[in-house]
Structure 1
């Protein structure tokens, strides 16, 4: 099975890194994501040196509808952490630019949003003086591959201790991954077995991280894309990436982030023939690739979304709210989201219609479940 399967189902969710060449709109996109001006945006390479970090709410129509049904006093969404990482350049793996520091920042995140320049603008310099998104992607990915090969070289150069099965397994995996990388295959696409996963994970490889290609286009191309986004789409298809490239206009997203009301945002999007903003696709795509899902707790006081990995059992899901819920878990009264909406948020109606189930600690929580935990404390 490909390593990407284990990364999605067994990996830990730390944060999402926005990666790309200098001067492609990373900081502008980050500001839009976090609805802030935390990242300095300027027209020269290495404007961002230390990574900016921000929490981003995951767009959630289900949460909005549950809250509307119950007319809750407060609504709390789930969040992802995004990191704006400075622009990589060719030679980063050999320390060019601020290479080692940037690669170290990428190593800390769980997923890569690879932003690609798909716009022409004479006023914004390009490191290669020519717009070619596929070449730009390959430049970044080559540097990540070279960095991984360097770290694997150290593993392979360590003296083998045949008497130690763990070290032997580490060598075998490092050799297999190294051969794949030398052929241009990222670590996430290497076949590994269940028992090899912990050793593979401990290698902390840059190319093992799930990736979403995100095309930054001018405002005029936000709805339909352009010839450059088509190039990225074709390249992504050949690579077999799970999430299709997302088309965004960082300028539109930045302006949108500064609008206060939902009505104003809707009207603004309509000006560009858009029904929703591109950032929602980026955030939800990241959520999916990280193997995450949401369940809900709902009352008239508060409606809240909770993040859990796919496959989480009820007892552990309760522990996300509070450790006491996990320790003293008795049961979880559970209503599927569609049933909750169908019953108009009425718990009694759901119970009368047999839509509310009483689940034990080993129940595997489904995405969208509305849960009412009972515990002894």
Structure 2
């Protein structure tokens, strides 16, 4: 997930709070020139329970990669500011956190001079769309040229027709490509184009610390404006209000001090919610392998079949897959031990068509050459 938005609205400070990193966060545009990258742990109480239960020598939670991308400005698609480089960085990520400013502060400059979330949201969306249109124009010219050759395949001509449909959709300028109603065949072509407006988006509304602590963030006018804009342009997208100032403050505290402070103010950090929203926006889930050596969460795409999930551990496991033993987390949680799960007849034997579910505890059976063996972290 990449963090995008106008310059000087709290992106680097949010990144620092998310990742406990030390990225420059000064009060001027273009402070972050090269994208900073870090891994953040995906919060999961199931993982915590498994670690307490197995007491392993090593723990490896699920992670989400987050990139801090420097601010886009009006005209970025035509090269304004450092637009071309920044838009290329946007193209390198799978999904986007779109941070928008929803607070007044005379000490924090705004690149557009006034605070107007609807305008700011529109600027970023327009720049991403303009860059996509530029990319589509080049692709359309090239594919049209190739399709006129006598050797052009029927597949290429079909893809060109889809490309023209996508180009028409984008020319209307009403919604992002990801909000179009596409068939599976059309979606495959769109995915090959790596369009910026095809990436999933999570909107983060940066309110002041006072508003956040007062608990009235739902009532401030800018959040209403943001909600209306998202409903009009990208309905269904997640919107999360938070205060970057607040998150920055508590990220600098020790665990005990932070716990006491949060109890005293009666609010919680929104960062776990932000991380989970990004993880789910990328259609990721994770399964577990558990044992005294290691408890580990393995991230896979939702709807992955068991051989694909096994391949995340090692590619040989996909080729040699013969089966998988599955324990459901809730069964283990209720029955406490693997032996009890087995005795209750709830240890499931599944084959290559089994679709891994979020929270599964998996033990893969793998055949290597002529020898069958079971990959188990539990034993």
TM-score norm. by structure 1 comes to 0.89
Cα distance in 1 for partners of 2:238, 2:139 equals 34
User: Paired residue for 1:103, among 66, 70, 87?
Assistant: 87
Uncovered stretches (5+) of structure 2, i.e. residues with no partner:
369-379
Q: Which residue of 2 aligns with 1:197?
A: 187
User: Paired residue for 1:75, among 59, 67, 73?
Assistant: 59
Question: What is the CA distance between 1:81 and its match in structure 2?
Answer: 1.0
Q: Indicate conservation of the 8 Å contact 1:256/1:265, yes or no.
A: yes
**1:219 and 2:209 correspond:** yes
- Provide, for residues 6-48 of structure 1, a one-character-per-residue CA deviation record: whole Å limited to 9, x for no partner: xxxxxxxxxx1100000100000111111111x1111111111
Q: Which residue of 2 aligns with 1:303?
A: 295
**1:20 and 2:2 correspond:** no
Q: Which residue of 2 aligns with 1:123?
A: 107
**1:267 and 2:260 correspond:** yes
Q: Which residue of 1 aligns with 2:372?
A: none
Q: Which residue of 1 aligns with 2:356?
A: 365
Counterpart secondary structure, 2:299? strand
Q: Which residue of 1 aligns with 2:282?
A: 290
Q: Which residue of 2 aligns with 1:35?
A: 20
Counterpart secondary structure, 2:238? coil
**1:113 and 2:97 correspond:** yes
**1:347 and 2:342 correspond:** no
Question: What is the CA distance between 1:119 and its match in structure 2?
Answer: 1.1
* CA distance 1:224–1:72, shift in 2 (3 Å): farther
**1:375 and 2:369 correspond:** no
**1:327 and 2:312 correspond:** no
- Provide, for residues 143-177 of structure 1, a one-character-per-residue CA deviation record: whole Å limited to 9, x for no partner: 11111111112233344424523443343233222
Counterpart secondary structure, 1:155? helix
Uncovered stretches (5+) of structure 1, i.e. residues with no partner:
1-15
Higher mean displacement: 71-80 or 47-56: 71-80
Question: What is the CA distance between 1:305 and its match in structure 2?
Answer: 0.7
Question: What is the CA distance between 1:240 and its match in structure 2?
Answer: 4.3
* CA distance 1:355–1:224, shift in 2 (3 Å): farther
Counterpart secondary structure, 1:83? strand
Q: Indicate conservation of the 8 Å contact 1:219/1:272, yes or no.
A: no
Which structure has more relative contact order (CA 8 Å, sep 6+)? It is: 1
Q: Indicate conservation of the 8 Å contact 1:27/1:40, yes or no.
A: yes
TM-score norm. by structure 2 comes to 0.89
Counterpart secondary structure, 1:365? coil
Q: Which residue of 2 aligns with 1:57?
A: 41
Q: Which residue of 2 aligns with 1:253?
A: 247
Cα distance in 1 for partners of 2:156, 2:364 equals 44
Aligned residues: 358
- Provide, for residues 216-249 of structure 1, a one-character-per-residue CA deviation record: whole Å limited to 9, x for no partner: 1111222442321222122223334444211121
Question: What is the CA distance between 1:272 and its match in structure 2?
Answer: 3.7
User: Paired residue for 1:181, among 153, 166, 170?
Assistant: 170
Larger Rg: 2
Q: Which residue of 2 aligns with 1:172?
A: 161
Counterpart secondary structure, 1:245? strand
Question: What is the CA distance between 1:55 and its match in structure 2?
Answer: 1.1
Q: Indicate conservation of the 8 Å contact 1:243/1:285, yes or no.
A: no
Q: Which residue of 1 aligns with 2:222?
A: 228
Higher mean displacement: 136-145 or 195-204: 195-204
Q: Indicate conservation of the 8 Å contact 1:340/1:370, yes or no.
A: no
Cα distance in 2 for partners of 1:323, 1:179 equals 41
**1:136 and 2:85 correspond:** no
Q: CA RMSD in A?
A: 1.8
Cα distance in 1 for partners of 2:329, 2:221 equals 40
